[in-house]
Structures are given as structure tokens and as C-alpha cells.
Structure 1
Amino acid sequence: MTKNYVHHLCIQTNTYLETLAFYTKALGFEIVEESQNFHGRAFNTWLKLGTFYIELQTGKQGEELVVANSNSEGLVHFCLWVENLQQEVERLIELNTHFVLKNGEIIYHIENGQLCKLKAPEGTIVELRNNQGI
């Protein structure tokens, strides 16, 4: 039997530079490959965090991408585990990261842990969690 695993998510953006900075500076992804003028797109970039990749791309030239909606079908958010959530939140506040508040709080409690949610410049919700349970 072959092993299966999630390799990457593809995220499109109208705000390439801001989105690239968010994933690299705020979340710690490294740029693996950045291709310009890629099949009608200004950029197609591969980002890596551990064994997880994001394919970050602009829309095709002359195309304005439609803004995502958290009430849409499809991907709602993705989650990254962090060792020290409070410390990570403090670092992200310094970077002026956009948090999604719940009851006015950045960090909120869930069963067996805590989490917070960030909104990337292109609209993707990224959850940070300090427990590895489901």
C-alpha cells in the first residue's frame, strides 16, 4: 500500500507582496522557488514549512480574483501547530497581523487547548493551535 499525505494547498492572491510577506515573515514559511511570468501569471511561488507546502500564485494577467467568503463551500481554514501560542501571538501583534477575534479575544479556549485565528492578506484564515489533538 502506498503512503498518502497532504503535499500542498494552492492559494491565489491579488496582493502578492503582502501575502508573501505574511506567509514568510509572520508564519515562517521559506521560499523554495519563485517563478515570474508563469503560464500567464505574474508569479507562481512555492513556500515550505516543514513538509507542508503552499503554492502561492497571482491570478492570470488581466484577471481580478474574487474575494473569498468564510461562509462559502470549500476550504474554510488551515491549521498550524505552535509550541507556545501566547509567545507566538505576541510576536504576531508586533508584525501588525490581522487576528480574527472571538468574543473580543485573540486567544480562546477549546477542549484540551487554546487557539487563535489570523486572516492573511488574500483572505485565507490560518488557525494557530497549541495542542495536537483533534
Structure 2
Amino acid sequence: MKNSYVHHICIQTNSYSETIEFYKRTLGFEVVQESPDFHGREFNTWLRLGTFYIELQTGKQSEFLAQVNSNSEGLVHFCIWVENLKFEVERLQKMNVHFIKKNDEIIYQVENGCLCKLIAPEGTIIELRNNQGI
């Protein structure tokens, strides 16, 4: 897979309006395409942050999607690198974003940097990190 990269992840939601506003207003994604009535779904929408995309879709007609469980197999979270983590956390706190705390702290140290985790309306865990390394 030479010259390959991750293009997008797909997130499904029961709360489309709330979820799309969260990614736009809270994390700075922009809507690049919104397709109503897409293959039995109310919406299939593409959001972009830099070169990273989220394909956001509702469940199929009359389908209620089960909630995400962080103790299951598969994708647990995705991470966005931010230049100033403290600034971003302060900005997000003013927006009443739901953070996952560790030892009662929003920002905490990991091996080679600091991070925090927040939860999107549909349950996706999003990590914000101030270190680009692994």
C-alpha cells in the first residue's frame, strides 16, 4: 500500500443535527457535501478538517442505532493534534463540552505529551493531543 493514507472514518448517528453542529462548531470541521435521502438514509454527509474526512450518516429508515461502547472491539477513539491544548480545553469548556476525566483532571500527561478526551453527541470519543509523536 505504497503512498497510502487514511482518508476518512464513518460515524453513524441518531441525532444528526446535534452531531453535525458539534463537529462544525466545536471542532472546526466544514461540510463539503450533504446528501439527503442517500440509499435509505436520511443523510450522508462529508465533513473535512484539513485533509481528514468524516463520513457522517444517519441509520437507514426506521433504524435506531445502538450506542457506542468504549469496552468493545473496533475503533475506540480518534485523535486530533492541536497546537495549544490548554487554550482548546478552555474554549471547549465555555461550550459545555462533555470531557472524560482521569483522576479528576481534564488534561493529563501520557508518555510524551498531554491529552484530553471528549465525547461527541453520538458517543464517539475524541482525543485532543499536543504531541504529534507516538
TM-score by length of 1: 0.97
Q: Which amino acid aligns with 1:5?
A: Y
SS of residue matched to 2:123: coil
SS of residue matched to 1:116: strand
Calculate percent identity across the aligned residue pairs: 72
| Aligned residue pair count | 134
Task: Find the counterpart in structure 2 of residue 15 from structure 1.
Answer: 15
SS of residue matched to 2:4: coil
Task: Find the counterpart in structure 2 of residue 77 from structure 1.
Answer: 77
Query: Gaps spanning 5+ residues in structure 2: where?
Result: none
Task: Find the counterpart in structure 1 of residue 48 from structure 2.
Answer: 48
Query: Gaps spanning 5+ residues in structure 1: where?
Result: none
In 2, Cα distance between equivalents of 1:82 and 1:2:
28
Deviation of the 1:107 alpha carbon: 0.4
TM-score by length of 2: 0.97
Q: Does 1:124 align with 2:121?
A: no
Q: Which amino acid aligns with 1:45?
A: T
In 2, Cα distance between equivalents of 1:31 and 1:94:
23
The alignment's C-alpha RMSD in Å is 0.9
In 2, Cα distance between equivalents of 1:5 and 1:133:
17
In 1, Cα distance between equivalents of 2:105 and 2:17:
28
In 1, Cα distance between equivalents of 2:65 and 2:106:
29
Instruction: Tell me which stretches of 4 or more aligned residues in structure 1 moved more than 6 Å.
Output: none
